[in-house]
Amino acid sequence: MAGGRGPQAIAFIACCGGRLLPDNFLMANLAVVVPDTATRHTGAGLQYINEFVDWAKTSGLVHVAIDRAQQGGTHVTPPLPPLERIAFLQRHVARLAENGVLTDGQGNALTVKLAGALGKLAAGETEPAMHKLGAFINQVEALGDAGRLSATQSASLLMIAQDVVRRAIA
């Protein structure tokens, strides 16, 4: 019998004998193909996929899927380093401004806070960087409360920013 490490497989081995194959026996290497139809070939599609995967890991969506499939013996790779995750937030804010969700001033204010956090992190100053991210979080919450950002838009920004702060403090 071959399959995932669900409770049925473990019970089968316990009662009837057998051997347990390596954890990666059913590893599925998946790929996502994103067309690059932009005239400038910016790679924006790939950036979006990377941001989505990071969000899925941060939000717990991947863990929920694993639990729902009852796939024991699996793990989720950790999120990307803080510098890359803050760069994701910068691109997300830029898209919100480009699409008219945020005014140029609002987008700029958020971008300045993120750029400040990136600068502090690059200089090895974690605590000041987290203060800059805290200011970003406060402004995103205010924009959500004011109705400028939808609940989904603010949650997608807040989830990653708060997770970066939480991991930096731990």
Asked whether residue 139 is assigned to any structural domain, the reply reads yes
Asked whether residue 115 is assigned to any structural domain, the reply reads yes
Asked whether residue 57 is assigned to any structural domain, the reply reads no
- What is residue 77's DSSP assignment? P
Instruction: Return d(Cα 54, Cα 157) in angstroms, integer.
Output: 12
pLDDT computed for residue 1 by the predictor: 44
Asked whether residue 36 is assigned to any structural domain, the reply reads no
Asked whether residue 42 is assigned to any structural domain, the reply reads no
Quote the number of domains for the chain: 1
Closest C-alpha to 36, from 45, 28, 23, 27: 45
DSSP 3-state of 147:
coil
- Per-residue pLDDT of 111-164, as tens digits, reads 999 999 999 999 999 999 999 999 999 999 999 999 999 998 998 899 889 988
Find tokens 């807040």 and name the residue.
Answer: 158
pTM above 0.85, yes or no: no
Per the CB < 8 A criterion, the answer to whether 157 and 86 are in contact is no
Instruction: Return d(Cα 104, Cα 54) in angstroms, integer.
Output: 26
Averaged pLDDT, 4-30: 67
Asked whether residue 95 is assigned to any structural domain, the reply reads yes
Asked whether residue 3 is assigned to any structural domain, the reply reads no
Asked whether residue 160 is assigned to any structural domain, the reply reads yes
Tokens representing residue 157 in the block: 């920004």
Give the residue numbers spanning the domain of 130: 82-169
Helices (H) and strands (E) in the chain, counts: 7, 0
Instruction: Return d(Cα 104, Cα 88) in angstroms, integer.
Output: 18
State residue 73 phi and psi, 5-degree precision: 80, 10
